[in-house]
Amino acid sequence: MLFLLATLHPSLIFRNNTPTGGDMGAHVWGPAFLRDNLLSNFRLSGWTMDWYSGFPIYRFYMVVPAIFIVLLDVVLPYGIAFKIVAVIGIVALPLCAWAFGRLARFVYPIPELFAVAAAVFLYDESFTIYGGNIASTMAGEFSFSIALAFGVLGLGFLARGLDTGKHRTTAAVLIALSALCHGIVLIFVFGGAAVMVLLHAGRRRLLFGIMTIGAAVLLAAFWVFPFLTSHAFMTDMKYEPRPSGAADSFWDMYFPLTAFWDIVIMTLALVGFAASILRRRIIGVWLGVMMVLLFIGVYITRDSLPVIGLLWNPRLLPFLYLCRYFLVMIGLWSIAAAGLRLISAERETTTNDPSYVTSYHLLRNVTAWVVALGVLCIIGFRFQQLPGGSILSKSDGTSQYAWGPFRAKSDNKSFVDGWARWNFEGYEGKGSYGEYHGIVQTLKRLGEDPNHGCGRALWENSGDLNKYGTTMALMLLPFWTDGCIGSQEGLFFEAAGTTPYHFISAAALSKQSSNPVRELRYDNNDAAKGVRYLQELGVRYYMAFTTEAINSAATQPALLEVARSGPWVVYEVEASDWVVPMKRQPVVVNKRDGDQRERWLELGSSWFQHGEEWAATPVADGPDAWQRIDVSVDLDRRVGEPGDPSRNVDIVTPVQEIDVVDLPEVTISNFKRGQESVSFTVDKVGVPVLVRVSYFPNWKVDGADGPYRAAPNMMVVVPTSNDVRLHYSSAIIDKVAYLLTLIGIVIVVYWWRRGPYSL
């Protein structure tokens, strides 16, 4: 744990700044929003206007790590509190792994070796985004590492409880916390708990396990149930499953290290699995079974099974690696113990023989220390930080790191310590901080200026922005401006139904956009289309910094330059109001078979990018008087079939001719918006009004009918009075979910007071 902490630069962790780096630099926004807008209203989830034209915050992303940050922020500066929570899962995992071994009744030195295995897993640099290790955590997956620590500890308490009848409350709470910290870890922990229960014989043990897992489900219900029931309104990023292409293979996924280390590790893991079976160590067998199931799981989820939903199959690999590392330690000890028995002069010697007992205890200590020190030396050599190590210059001008007889290129160092330094130096520690601070303050002043005002901003996408600490730095515009200036792009990609339309817009208005949502038909470098997209999404400000983007923006009459800061030019977008009267009556598109999230993406993107082909705005529902039409896929413009890497989202067009119904002019006034509400006044009732806020079924309206989902992902209401107010509120499923969690709390409190369960 101390070794890990040293790698993470504790002096920087306790420096009062704002962490950056990868996704972590954007995660900064979330806990602060929770603190300032949700917890103050006694809520754990809600709506925010800060990203993606609005989306449900902490409905699809895990809230518990953010709560930890807010609690620490009571006594510590926000940046320090954030960094402590960001690294706590890494530092705690060896302790949790040791406790797992002790609770599962593994003999010394196996629990201690589990702690070493956890350290090896954490320093594994063969993956950088899947979750659990230091690299993934520095990329922003700190919720995953916290969840994994909770999960390992919770499974340990479940294992002990299945032996003794104790700890069902502790196991249920820890398993629930693990699930509430990360949805991918939820799959491993609940699945692993179920397998562990099934491996234990006996009706009473089975009942104990079912009750414990059931209580954990109830405790986590307040977040899990709303998440599971709202997938249709999320965005599928369509991440390409692995393996992808001829250069990739399942072999590379399962065995990501050098051939030597892969053979050693897998051989020792199989020895540990076999030894556990022979000696009937149930939890050792469980580790082996989980390893096998995870091998299978990575394979079968490559095709995005409907029951799995948004799971990207490589996300299961960290659990496979961790179980395998644990089995390696069992294998090492099994070989050492077998060696002692083989060289014993008396093969039938019993443990009552003092000489045998002494030798056995000595071997245990030697095994533990040799493995621990060996691993630390390997890690230290990789980081080139071993005592006595030195840099040697060679005649060809290169240099080597030397430690005793061992040599390595001096620039062949591990990267995770440098990544941690980059993150924890913070935005304020970057050389371009002055430029970054300047553009943020410029937007803040525009928001405060009554001639301009608050609004959403879309910034040109580019990898060059990493000079600020992360390419996502400007996602923090609402963080720095107290919500006045929203960033159209946000971190929680899957959590917003408007995400695809943002990235289509960014591609049209950026010299080099990342285009992260696969299968979309991007209109790269087409400013004319981009401006129309901004208007449809209600984006007030456009920010460009490359010469190409600035020159393109200068040709667009709907873009008015309003400010400059460093390389940035800020434009105000005309006709981008949030609430606008509709000129034509919308048409209701009848539902088609299949994945409704995919069907709506086809409809939304078709209208968004080919609006000239639609005589009226398509909506998902509406009054009986509105025309109903069918749509069909335009086969002439279809690109690729399912599974084809060149596939694009289908374009759909109306089957029936749309009856154009022109609407009378309406004047809208008294517009007001909050984080969870929009209100306005109309001078005529009965005329549809478009509200450019992302649709979600939790939105309700007073003084109007609706809201109805309108392409691409906005809302339409039909005023029944002059004053209209939309507001985000809890749905029935939300209330039921909280009731289930309350029942779970009552159950675990009752168990805690009652005491152990009789097996």
The per-residue pLDDT for 329 is 95
For the ranges 104-118, 348-362, 722-736, the lowest mean pLDDT is seen at 348-362
pLDDT for residue 349: 47
State the Cα–Cα distance between residues 708 and 548, nearest whole angstrom. Answer: 39
Torsion of Cα atoms, 129 then 135 then 141 then 147, to 10°: 110
Token pair 């014989």: residue: 201
Alpha carbon distance 418, 428 (integer Å) = 17
Q: Is 705 helix (H, G, I), strand (E, B) or coil?
A: strand
The answer to whether the CB of 482 falls within 8 A of the CB of 448 is no
Q: What is the pLDDT of residues 478-492, one digit of tens each?
A: 999 999 999 999 999
Q: What does the pLDDT read at residue 410?
A: 67
pTM for this prediction = 0.93
pLDDT grade for 356, boundaries at 50, 70 and 90: low
DSSP state of 608: H
Rounded CA separation 539/560 (Å) = 13
What's the average model confidence in pLDDT over 745-756?
A: 94
State the amino acid at position 645 in one-letter form.
P
Please tell me the predicted confidence (pLDDT) of residue 353.
59
Looking at the predicted structure, is the pLDDT value of residue 497 above 70? yes
Of 92-101, 275-284, 377-386, the least confident: 377-386
Query: Distance between CA 510 and CA 486 in Å, rounded?
Result: 19
User: Rg (Cα) of the chain, in Å, rounded?
Assistant: 29
Q: What is the pLDDT of residue 674?
A: 96
pLDDT at 392: 77
Element (H, E) at 579: strand 579-581
- Which 3 state secondary structure label does DSSP give 501? helix
pLDDT band per the 50, 70, 90 thresholds, residue 352: low
Beta strands 46-48 and 689-691, pairing class: unpaired
**How many angstroms from the chain centroid is the CA of residue 441?**
29
Burial status of residue 125 (CB atoms within 10 A of its CB: 0-12, 13-18, 19 or more): middle
Residue 460, class by beta-carbon neighbours within 10 Å (0-12 exposed, 13-18 middle, 19+ buried)?
A: buried
Asked if residues 625 and 661 have their Cβ atoms less than 8 Å apart, the reply is no
pLDDT over 90 at 403, yes or no: no
Q: How far is Cα 626 from Cα 619, in angstroms, rounded to an integer?
A: 10
Helix (H) or strand (E) holding 671: strand 668-673
What pLDDT is stored for residue 345 in this prediction? 45
- Ordered by start, the domain boundaries in the chain are 2-235+259-347, 432-576, 579-728
> Per the omega criterion (within 30 degrees of 0), is the bond before 697 cis?
no
Question: 482: Cβ–Cβ under 8 A, 6 or more apart, which residues?
Answer: none
Q: CA-CA distances (angstroms) from residue 621 to 464, 652, 657, 716?
A: 43, 18, 18, 10
| Residue 123 contacts residue 136 (beta carbons within 8 Å) | no
First to last CA, the chain: 36
**Percentage of the chain exceeding pLDDT 90:** 81
In angstroms, rounded to a whole number, what is the distance separating the alpha carbons of residues 543 and 232? 32
pLDDT band at 385 (very low <50, low <70, confident <90, very high): low
Mean pLDDT, residues 226-253: 88
Confidence band (pLDDT; 50, 70, 90) for 308? very low
Cβ(460)–Cβ(509) below 8 Å: yes
- Alpha-carbon distance of 535 to 540, in angstroms, equals 8
Cα separation, 140 vs 132, in Å, equals: 11
The reported pLDDT for the residue numbered 307 is 41
Whether the per-residue pLDDT at 381 is higher than 90: the answer is no
**3-class secondary structure for 223-285?**
HHHHHHCCHHHCCCCCCCCCCCCCCCCHHHHHCCCCHHHHHHHHHHHHHHHHHHHHHCCHHHH
Please determine, for residue 292, whether its predicted confidence score (pLDDT) is greater than 80: yes
Beta strand pairing status for 587-589 and 618-619? parallel
How many Å apart are CA 146 and CA 136, to the nearest integer? 12
Question: At 705, phi and psi to the nearest 5?
Answer: -95, 150
| The pLDDT of residue 312 is above 90 | no
Whether the pLDDT of residue 201 is over 70: the answer is yes
Burial of 719 (0-12, 13-18, 19+ CB in 10 A): buried
- pLDDT, one tens digit per residue, over 87-134 is 999 999 999 999 999 999 998 899 999 999 999 999 999 999 999 999
The mean pLDDT of the chain is 92
Average pLDDT over residues 65-85: 97
**Residue 493 φ/ψ, nearest 5 degrees:** -55, -50
Burial class (CB in 10 A: 0-12, 13-18, 19+), 396: exposed
Query: Two tokens at 750?
Result: 């009752």
pLDDT band at 269 (very low <50, low <70, confident <90, very high): very high
Higher per-residue confidence, 677 vs 389: 677
- C-alpha 601/C-alpha 586 separation (Å) is 18
Segment 568-583 mean pLDDT:
97
- The length of the chain in residues reads 759
Residue 245 region by backbone torsions, left for phi larger than 0, else alpha for psi between -120 and 50, else beta: left
* Residues 258-268: tens digit of each pLDDT: 899 899 999 99
Considering 135-139, 231-235, 346-350, the range whose residues carry the highest mean pLDDT is 135-139
Q: Name 165's Cβ contacts closer than 8 Å, sequence gap at least 6.
A: 208, 756, 757, 758, 759
Q: What is the tally of helices (H) and strands (E) in the chain?
A: 25, 23
